[in-house]
Amino acid sequence: MTQAKIYPQHIDLEPVMRVQGTVRLPGSKSISNRTLLLAALSEGTTTIHDLLASDDTNVMLDALRKLGIQWEQKDERTHVVHGAGGKLPVAQADLFMGNAGTAIRPLTAALAVIGGDYTLHGVERMHERPIGDLVDALNAVGASIEYTGNPGYPPLHIRKGHVQPDRIAVRGNVSSQFLTALLMAAPLMAVAHPVTIEVVGELISKPYIEITLNLMRRFGVTVGQDGWASFTVQPGQTYRSPGSIHVEGDASSASYFLAAGAIAGGPVRVEGVGKESIQGDVRFADALELMGATITKGDNWIEAKSNGVLKAIDADFNHIPDAAMTIAVAALYADGTSILRNIASWRVKETDRLAAMATELRKVGATVEEGPDYIRVTPPETLSPATIDTYDDHRMAMCFSLASLDGAARRGNAMRINDPKCVAKTFPDYFETFSGIAQNDLS
Ligand SMILES: O=C(O)C1=C[C@@H](OP(=O)(O)O)[C@@H](O)[C@H](O)C1
Ligand SMILES: C=C(OP(=O)(O)O)C(=O)O
């Protein structure tokens, strides 16, 4: 086991010689926050098993409580949400959204359609993350949303409008969460006639829309689809509780452990996602396979092991923007230059991830070219131990734990990760879990 030393400001990861073991994944962030909102908007009571416990789900749970939605936690793995049938008991509230895109975007649409007097704000970075495409789409069809800070960004003030459009148009090239937000609010708009949501221009991060449609279906609403160009909800459909629902393990969180198995021996098995997953990020395993790792899958698990040195990869990662960050760090262990393409959305997430990734990869010795929507990574002969800054971005912290594998071991020095507690956004126990698969000596 790695002796991970946890300090308030940083964690030192001793060089890891080998990884092996099984990890039970925390719940999917994307499924958890969608499920909470859909359960709140439903008629009936929903029992949710294996909800993610993290900063992002806490802001959603707190917001729902403030809006008058009753919910209780029955035990460590079970929450019960009492739906309010498309209404909100509290008409005035001030809601803190942290840095959770999956909370602020869907809630903005639902609150604007239902109407009331609501303010939504978050951490400093949340106020730099765009929301203009969603606000424009809603205001164009009768919502009343104002910016109280910089135009195009939270904080927002929502008042009662009148939103019952036939058609609503939204741009899809900055974040798919805007379309997700409108889709989840669509049954609340489609009172008397169908509502069609048109995607203007390119749609990024498409697999997240599949998660949205899948969960809406589980809550009784079907959406007609014309490819990725438009989506129609017929009138008279209301959300109905499925009774109980199980949250899959988080496929993006799985990426760090699978990458570890592919880089440093393995096998490493993640439990909670598998062949049947509804999350696009399970396709991360395909990228590892292309890099030469051996991947095996069951219904509820995925396993990765190394097959010698990884091969460099040159691929489009638009479909898995979060897990793609893990490939950028795995590229440190490849046999040549890797190129990750079509990832411009990295710039508007928890930090400017293209800039952050380039800066930190260079610290361990990589040669990096950062383009507007791509990153090119050439590994060094030997990784240098470094102090990694994490920019309040959980994925920067989790990704760079991988830099303690194998290569760093050759120099015998620890890899220091600053501000490790930022992992609480989606995976509060990340470093303890990582220690559980890591071995520091070869005995
Ligand atoms: O809908 C979702 O659950 C998410 C969509 C993606 O965002 P973009 O659509 O902004 O790429 C992803 O990066 C985010 O972590 C979760
Ligand atoms: C982009 C992310 O989060 P959010 O849901 O806040 O967009 C992420 O978790 O990598």
pLDDT of residue 2: 46
Task: Return the pLDDT at 441.
Answer: 67
Active site residues: 322
**Residue list, ligand 1 pocket, CB within 6 Å:** 30, 101-102, 175-177, 180, 204-205, 208, 321-322, 345
Mutate to test the pocket of ligand 1, among 38, 205, 281, 283 (most ligand atoms within 8 A of CB): 205
- Whole-number Cα distances in Å, 299 to 28, 109, 276, 281: 16, 35, 6, 15
The alpha carbon of 97 is separated from its chain's Cα centroid by a whole number of angstroms, namely 15
∠ CA(253), CA(381), CA(316), 5° rounding?
Answer: 45
Ligand 2 pocket residue status of 100, Cβ below 6 Å: yes
Is 30 annotated as ligand-binding?
yes
- Residue 46 contacts residue 83 (beta carbons within 8 Å): yes
pLDDT of residue 308: 84
- Give the pLDDT confidence of 217-260 residue by residue, as tens digits: 999 999 999 999 999 999 999 999 999 999 999 999 999 999 99
Let me know: does 334 contact 305? Beta carbons within 8 Å: no
349 lines ligand 2 (CB under 6 A): yes
| Mutational test site, ligand 2, from 178, 425, 427, max ligand atoms within 8 Å of CB | 425
How far apart, in Å, are the Cα atoms of 137 and each of 120, 169, 179, 198, 428? 18, 6, 10, 10, 35
160 is in an annotated binding site: no
Given a cut of 50, the residues of the chain with pLDDT beneath it are 1-3, 443
Q: Which of 348, 411, 326 is nearest to 133 (CA)?
A: 348
pTM over 0.90: yes
Q: What is the pLDDT of residue 4?
A: 55
Q: Rounded to an integer, what distance in angstroms lies between the CA atom of residue 171 and that of residue 152? A: 13
pLDDT value of residue 410: 58
Locate the ligand 2 atom nearest the alpha carbon of residue 102 and give its number.
5
Task: Give the ligand at the shortest distance from the Cα of 425.
Answer: 2
Cis peptide before 385 (omega within 30 of 0): no
77 CA distance to ligand 2 middle (Å): 23
